[in-house]
Structure 1
Amino acid sequence: MIPANAAPLAIALLGLLLGMRHATDPDHVIAVTTILSRERRFAVAARIGVVWGLGHTLTVLLVGAAIIVFKIAIPARLGLAMEFAVAIVLILLGVGAAANLARKAATRMRGGTSRDEALVVHAHAHTHDGATHAHPHVHLSPHEDAADAMHHDHRIPPDALPSLAARRPLLRSFAVGLVHGLAGSAAIALLVLSAIPNPLWATLYLAIFCVGTIIGMALITTAIATPFMVASQRASWLHQGLVTGSGLLSFGFGLFLAYHIGVVDHLFSAAPIWIPQ
């Protein structure tokens, strides 16, 4: 005999798996890849994925539950505008890499080394266990003269380190997750409501779906971080290439989405075309 709770369990499992599958959407993967590309620890990469999932969950649950419970109709232009916001975010995530590449190309075309790429080699003396020694190292000095760059402080206040090294990527990931969740909330809620007419069960399914998205993104970010971390330890040039490549991919994909939503789907025309999917 089939247990009475088999159907709800099957629906819950389906929601979890579909949520994990939703995390693999190209715009999601590209966004988190750009954010975590400079990280060198698996724990931080996994946290970036979880925080992205939390931001995504917040907007999906708030907007999606409102659509399910109150039967709110989303105008086509508003639906496209929410998706267009994702394109803008992707462009902003990758604009730094695109600008850096353009600056380097312009420098090479001029046939010389620009002041922005001046390399400064110097050493700082410090003490470990009563012994004083120095470590020579190289700086890329974009905003100061070589003489000034040799006299700076490498020390970072202990209380500033968590904010600079950890909180910025996490906050960025959370904000990007919010935007992605807002863009997908209407489509997800409409699809759930069409399959599960009961608002209570539909909302519960939506919550399980979001849990699956968080789990999926945590796994994805950990997997994506692996080549970046290996490259950072064994080949700095390869790591820098991966960082630049991920930024350019985000920038290019953002431009593609912006064109498709704005021109092909007629966001800025009198008759926008929006198909939730």
Structure 2
Amino acid sequence: MIALGLLPVLGAGLGMGVLHAFDPDHMVTMSSLGARPDARGATTRFALSWALGHGGILVLAALALLLFQLPMPGALPAGAERLVGIILIAAGGSLALALWRGAAEERRPSALRSKTPFLIGMVHGTAGSAAALALLPVGLLSPVQGLVYVLVFSGGVLLGMIGFGQGFDRISALIARRGRAIEQALRGCLATLAIGMGSYWLWSA
């Protein structure tokens, strides 16, 4: 049974998880994937896959720390931060290329692209802020409590990201009703934002 004194810690972990889902790099990356013409309405599904990858890698890292006293290698978060920049550029470039080619609206994402959010979530899960928010409190708790904390934090990330995905899909549907020109212009702006943010991310990493 979880001690009552731990409940505020878990509540804080849940709240930080929800807020973490709305980090700018997360939102821009997932928006770029969901804005592709061949991924209409798929952002919620992508968000779920992303959150599972993000939470899964954190749970593995927590188990390694709690059971074997193996901390995450110091170079891994830094490398993941650089990879986040590359992912942002790739997501924005992929969206720009799809718009330039005029990909058919009715096409569905390929099997490979459908797995991409899960892998991106794993990268984001090993980047600096996620590791700090989820794993630093673990060292102050018992193994069971630490694992519960990481699970609750990851549950918060899942809730936040699914909420973001549903909101993005609904807004996209509303914009689509306004006309194709407006929709394409906004998609182009999003692609530019992703490429610009990714370039800055790499430069500042």
* TM superposition score normalised by structure 1: 0.63
Supply the AA of the counterpart residue of 1:45: T
Letter in 2 for 1:218: I
Q: Deviations over 1:45-67 (max 9, x none)?
A: 32221111011111111123323
Which of 44, 47, 50 is the equivalent residue of 2:48? 50
Deviations 1:3-41 (A, max 9, x none): x95323333222211111110111111111111113443
Alignment partner of 2:12: what SS?
Answer: helix
Please say if residues 89 and 198 of structure 2, whose CA atoms lie closer than 8 Å, have aligned partners that are also in contact: yes
Q: Any gaps of 5 or more consecutive residues in structure 1?
A: 105-115, 117-139, 142-153, 262-277
CA distance in 1, matches of 2:158, 2:28: 16
TM-score, L = length of structure 2: 0.83
Task: Please state whether the residue corresponding to 2:127 is helix, strand or coil.
Answer: helix
Alignment size in residue pairs: 200
8 Å Cα contact 1:40-1:232 kept in structure 2: no
> 1:78 is matched with which residue?
76
Q: Distance in 1 between matches of 2:73 and 2:116?
A: 29
Is 1:234 the equivalent of 2:172?
Answer: no
Residue in structure 2 matched with residue 257 of structure 1 by the alignment: 201
Specify the alignment match of 2:57 in structure 1: 59
Matched, 1:10 2:8: yes
Higher strand share: 1
Distance 1:99-1:20 versus aligned 2 partners, 3 A rule: same
Conserved 8 A contact 2:64-2:70: yes
**Among candidates 204, 209, 215, match of residue 148 of structure 2:** 204
Where does structure 2 lack aligned partners over 5 or more consecutive residues?
A: none
Check whether the contact 1:53–1:217 (CA below 8 A) recurs between aligned residues.
Answer: yes
* Separation in structure 2 between the aligned mates of residue 166 and residue 50 of structure 1, nearest angstrom: 17
- The answer to which of 52-61 and 71-80 deviates more is 71-80
Displacement, 1:259?
0.5
Q: 1:77 and 1:12, CA in 2 relative to 1: closer, same or farther beyond 3 A?
A: closer
Native 8 Å contact 1:48 1:170 kept in 2: yes
Alpha-carbon distance in structure 2 between the residues aligned to 1:93 and 1:70: 36
Judged with a 3 Å threshold, the aligned counterparts in structure 2 of structure 1 residues 236 and 182 are, in CA distance, closer, same or farther, namely same
**Correspondence for 1:191:** 136
Cα distance, 1:75 vs structure 2: 4.9
Confirm whether residue 244 of structure 1 aligns to residue 188 of structure 2: yes
Query: What do the CA deviations read for 1:190-214 (whole angstroms, capped 9, x no partner)?
Result: 42235x3322211210011001101
CA contact (8 A) 2:61 2:72 kept: no
Letter in 2 for 1:173: P
Distance 1:204 1:259 in 2: 36
Output the amino acid matched with 1:200: V
Greater share of helix residues, 1 or 2? 2
Q: In the alignment, residue 192 of structure 1 is paired with which amino acid?
A: P
Letter aligned with residue 136 of structure 2: L
Matched, 1:181 2:125: yes
